[in-house]
Structure formats: structure tokens, C-alpha cells
Structure 1
Amino acid sequence: MSEIKKHFLSYDEQIDLLKQKKLSIKNDEIAKSELKRYSYYSLITGYKDIFKIAKNGDYKSDASFEGIIYLYKFDDSMREIFLHEFIHIEKHIKSLYSYSFCELYGDKQNDYLDANNYNYSKYQTDVNNFISILNGIIRHSSRYKYVHHNKTKYKNVPLWVIMQTLTFGNLSKMYNFSNQKLQSQVAKEFPSIYPHQLSSMLNVLSKFRNVCAHGERLYNYKTKKSIKKLDVYNEISEYNPKSKNDLFTVLICLKYLLPTFNYENFLNLLNTAITRLNSDIGESYTKLVLEGMGFPDNWKDIAAIPIN
């Protein structure tokens, strides 16, 4: 079968194409304005699936351009809600890690550049690459005013300073190849989490953070790696998740990693956004969205279970 080649379409042609595929459009000018704002690829290609009869076929009889807009804006609100909590967790882990590392191995620049202060026997390549990244940051310190200040004035850039330059992905890898004692010191700050679980949580959260930061589709995104078993999954017997790498898994991670007040506020914002979506596109489509997010019917009950 020959590949169908994509070619440039004007905004009017894009609208005509959608109408040919039986998508309801109430106002062509508003639709054109939205296509200009978000692009056909980001808006239609990104969010059309639940509104279509088949992947490459016509749209369902009750599907509308406005419904796709509502889903796009819902996903945008999801990115904002989740990203806010990812940033909170990232700062918390950076603080805990730098404190624990300095307490165990020292607070000098050479201490965190010493491969022997990590699990080098198991993660030799990862550690070497990471130390190379840190050396590069120090070498080109002018990119970061606070790093350059410590380098020039004190001839030493402490870990808690250079830690601010690291991405969530860097942080996740750093924790993963650290020694067991350091991992345990960080993990003990969170109830009912073992170091290997925290490591897998940080790995998955870093991937979701990138999706949020880059404005990619979030609601049905799934990572390749899954979260290690967490007790809360077994608290309600009828809930047996098919995957532990979806957005509901992220919610469970936030339950373990956020302070109670922050988590409850997060749940309120999440529930408000879902309620609004249900009002905008209807219960049947909202159910499909929640399924894509990995949310079971009783997600509120599971989200409210106390952590022992």
C-alpha cells in the first residue's frame, strides 16, 4: 500500500476537509481563528481520536470542532496543574539529595565529582557521563550567574548550587545511580516508599514533566517503564490497573510525594477541570478521556485512601 503524502492546505481547505469527514463546525471563522492559534497538527491530529468512528474514517455523528477545542484546553489545564506539582517535587528532592550527599560525602566540589561517591561498580557509564555534565556546567559557568559567582569568588561550586542547574531527568538519573545509603536517607522522608520505588517514580515523573514543559499531549501519554508496586494499588480490591505508567499512576505518585495540603489542593483543581470537561463535551466523551488517563470509575475513592 502506497503511503499517503501530506501536503499544504490553506485554513479554508482544512475546514473543508474536516467537513468532508463529517465534523460539525458551528462557525467557520471561529474555527479558522483556532486553527491559526493552535495549528491543525497540534489541535486536530493531536486530539481527534476519541471523536472519530475509526482512526482514518469519519467523525462520530455527535462530534464537533468545538468538542476538540474543549479537549485541547482541558489537556492544557492538565499540563498546568501537574507541572506545578512536578516542580514542587523536583525542588524538594533536590534539597533532600544535596543535604544527604553533603552530609555523607562532603560539601566540596571534588566530592560530587568523585565517581567513588556513587554506585560506580554498577553504573559506571552513567556516572562517567553525569560527572562530565557537571564538569561542563562548571567549565561554562557564565551560563549561570550563581554558579559563576561561587566558582570565581570561592573557587568551589557546592552541590546545592549546581543542583539548581539540573533537569528533573538529570536528578532522576543521579538518584538512581547513587549509593543505597544516600537513597535511603532521601526516601525515608516520604511515608511508605522504598528507595527502588522512589527511583522508578522519579524516572516516570521526569518523563511526564517533559511532556508538560514541551506542551505535548498529556492526558493519554504513557511511559515505557512502569512504577514499582505501591501499596495503595491494593487497598481497593476491585482496582487492578492494567498499566502503572499512565496519568493516574502519576496521581498516585503525587499522593506519596506531596504534603497533604498540596495534594488535596491538587485533587480539587483536578476534579474541577474534569467536571468542567464533562459539562463541555458530555459524559460519554469524558469517560473516554478518563480511560485514556488510566482513571478508574472510582478514582476519587482511591485518591482519598490514606497512606499508612
Structure 2
Amino acid sequence: MNSDNDYMKIKPPTTYKEQVEIFQKRNLHIENSEFAEKYLQRVNYYRLSAYAITFKDPLCKEHYTENSTFEKLTSLYEFDRRLRLLLLGVLETIEISFRTHISYEIAHKFGPLGYKDKENFIKEKYHKESLDELENLISRSRKGELFIEHHFKKYNGNIPIWAAIEVTSFGYISKLYRNLNEDLKRHIAKVYYNIPYLYLESWLQTLSNVRNVCAHYGRLYNKKLTFKPRLFKEDLKNFNNQKIYAAIYIIQRLLTREESRRFLIDLEALILEYDENIDFLHIGFPTNWKENLIQQE
């Protein structure tokens, strides 16, 4: 039970008008207070103010630096929103491709139900947890997915890997791959992506987390990646692996040539539209960001 003291520590709620005034008191220039108030009716103050962290005056954390404006703040927010949407599209492509690759190779190497055999995986404990999770996913999918119900009726619930994989998440297939027999892991990484499997393991973990951030409308701008991807030494000389650019870089490495070109065109257009307000340090883009990505085509 919460005590009265706990409630006393929490700040009282503010009106939309008061939220505008808080911004103004902190030295954020607002040209049109009415517009700002209407914007805050659509985007939570707490959510929006996170983008203003980069505006803070280092000498006085309660104030923003000169030339900080509400227009620039909303521009950063809109840039981040559109970047999430762009990344979601290519992450879907990567996820579906990897589902295809891993299910095809497991089926042909170990058989349609080979994913159930602990001998085909590195750690028995993780394999059991993976199977339990998959059974729950399949159970929840019976009512909504006709192909799952079909396999229950015709094959007594024995669902081949190429069907079972379709009810899983990016995070699930990332963990499945990490625990997979090393020979098959190595084969998948080399044949489909031409990279060592240790890198592919790391990249899938990074991208599954980025995908979840995007799907739940989280912030990418000025945020560190939860799972920093393993990068080659030459890449680490050009940029660090903590910001969203590192994820964009590995996305580009996992796309086909045509997919990569389309993605780069869309990304460059987005960057150019918001170029004046973006601080590239906060998204980890090096000065030669485009050249780095083109090299991966």
C-alpha cells in the first residue's frame, strides 16, 4: 500500500497551457503558444520533453540553450517518428528473410520436426525454454491462424518448422539461432549473409531490440542501443556501435542489393528533409555516413 508520503513526492498534473509555460520558463522559444498547446494535446509533454534533453544548457540544467525553439523540438520528434517507420519496413524484410533461411536449413538438415530435438542445439536448458515458448505461441495462435488449426486436426499438432516459425517473433528467432548447432549456424551465416556467425548472432539481437523499440514508438534519437552490435575493426574506426547508425549500418549489410538501394534513397531523403535540426552526434552518423552505406551495396 502506498503511504501519504509517497503521494506527496509525486508532482501534481499540469494542464496543456501550464506545460507550454514550463517550456517557456526553461528558455524554449515558442512562436505560437496556441499551436504548442494543441501539439501537446496530441503528444504527451513527458514524451516530447525527452527530445529536448539535447537542448539543455550545461551551465544550468533547468534551462535550454539560446536558439532552442519549439519548432526545432517538434522537428526532432517528427524525424524520429518517421525514422522508426522507415526502419520498421526494412526490419520486416530482414525478419521474414531470416525466418525463411533458418526454417529451410533446419528442415533440410534435421527434418521437419528437427527443432524439437535437443541434440541439434547447444544448450539443453535454452532449448527447453525455447520449446515451451513456442508451444505457448502456437497455442495462442490456434484460434486466429487457420494453418495452425489445420496441423492440429490433420497431424495431431505436429507442426513442421516452416509453419511453426510463422508464429514467432524477431526476438524468438534471434535466440533460436544463437542456440543452434554451430555447424548449421556457420552455414546459414556464410551462405545467406557472407559473414561469420558470431557477427550474425550479435546483429540479430541488436535488430530484434531495435524492432521492438520502433514497434512500441520508443525514442531512437539520442539513445544508446541496448545491445551494441559486434562490428569489424575497420567499421569501429569509422563509427561507434552505441547509436542508431550502427543498427542502420548492419541493416544495410543484411538487405539484398535492390532492397539496400531503395532503403538508402528513402533514408537520404529523410535526412535531407530534417538536416537543419538534426545533431548527427546524437544518432551516431559519421561525416561520411552515406559512403559507408553505399559500400555495403
TM-score by length of 1: 0.87
Q: Are 1:147 and 2:144 matched, yes or no? A: no
The letter of the residue matching 1:216 is: G
Q: Is the 8 A contact 2:238 2:286 kept in 1?
A: no
Which region of structure 1 is more displaced relative to structure 2, 142-151 or 95-104?
142-151
Q: Which residue of structure 1 lines up, in the alignment, with residue 185 of structure 2?
A: 183
Q: Are 1:274 and 2:271 matched, yes or no? A: yes
Residue 306 of structure 1 and its aligned partner are, at CA, apart by 4.4
Q: Is the 8 A contact 1:93 1:186 kept in 2?
A: no
The letter of the residue matching 2:46 is: Y
CA distance in 1, matches of 2:94, 2:253: 11
**Number of aligned pairs?**
287
Residue 298 of structure 1 and its aligned partner are, at CA, apart by 1.4
Structure 1 vs Structure 2: percent identity of aligned residues? 28
Residue 67 of structure 1 and its aligned partner are, at CA, apart by 0.9
Q: 1:293 aligns with which of 258, 283, 295?
A: 283
CA distance in 2, matches of 1:52, 1:139: 49
Q: Is the 8 A contact 1:78 1:219 kept in 2?
A: no
The letter of the residue matching 1:14 is: Q
CA distance in 1, matches of 2:284, 2:221: 9
What SS class does the counterpart of residue 37 from structure 1 fall into?
coil
The letter of the residue matching 2:249 is: I
What stretches of structure 1 of length at least 5 have no aligned partner?
Answer: none
Q: Is the 8 A contact 1:52 1:59 kept in 2?
A: yes
Please list the CA deviations of residues 105-163 of structure 1 after superposition, one character each: whole Å capped at 9, or x if unmatched: 1113xx322222211xxx23221111111222344433433212222233231111111
Residue 278 of structure 1 and its aligned partner are, at CA, apart by 1.9
Q: Return structure 1 stretches of 4+ with deviation > 6 angstroms.
A: none
CA distance in 2, matches of 1:260, 1:98: 23
What SS class does the counterpart of residue 252 from structure 1 fall into?
helix
Q: Are 1:112 and 2:102 matched, yes or no? A: no
Residue 246 of structure 1 and its aligned partner are, at CA, apart by 2.3
CA distance in 1, matches of 2:117, 2:137: 16
What SS class does the counterpart of residue 204 from structure 1 fall into?
helix
The letter of the residue matching 2:119 is: N
Q: 1:233 aligns with which of 221, 227, 235?
A: 235
Q: Are 1:32 and 2:37 matched, yes or no? A: yes
Q: Is the 8 A contact 1:115 1:131 kept in 2?
A: no
CA distance in 1, matches of 2:131, 2:173: 13
What SS class does the counterpart of residue 193 from structure 1 fall into?
coil
CA distance in 1, matches of 2:296, 2:172: 31
CA distance in 2, matches of 1:208, 1:41: 21
What SS class does the counterpart of residue 61 from structure 1 fall into?
coil
CA distance in 1, matches of 2:191, 2:90: 17
Please list the CA deviations of residues 268-290 of structure 1 after superposition, one character each: whole Å capped at 9, or x if unmatched: 111111111124x3xxxx2x2x1
Map 1:87-166; keep pairs closer than 5 Å: 87-108=92-113, 111-119=114-122, 123-140=123-140, 141-155=142-156, 156-166=158-168
CA distance in 2, matches of 1:90, 1:191: 13
CA distance in 1, matches of 2:213, 2:250: 17
What SS class does the counterpart of residue 182 from structure 1 fall into?
helix
Q: CA RMSD in A?
A: 2.0
Q: Are 1:42 and 2:39 matched, yes or no? A: no
CA distance in 1, matches of 2:177, 2:234: 23
CA distance in 2, matches of 1:101, 1:191: 17
What SS class does the counterpart of residue 102 from structure 2 fall into?
helix
TM-score by length of 2: 0.90
The letter of the residue matching 1:112 is: Y
Q: Which residue of structure 2 lines up, in the alignment, with residue 76 of structure 1?
A: 81
Q: Is the 8 A contact 2:30 2:71 kept in 1?
A: yes
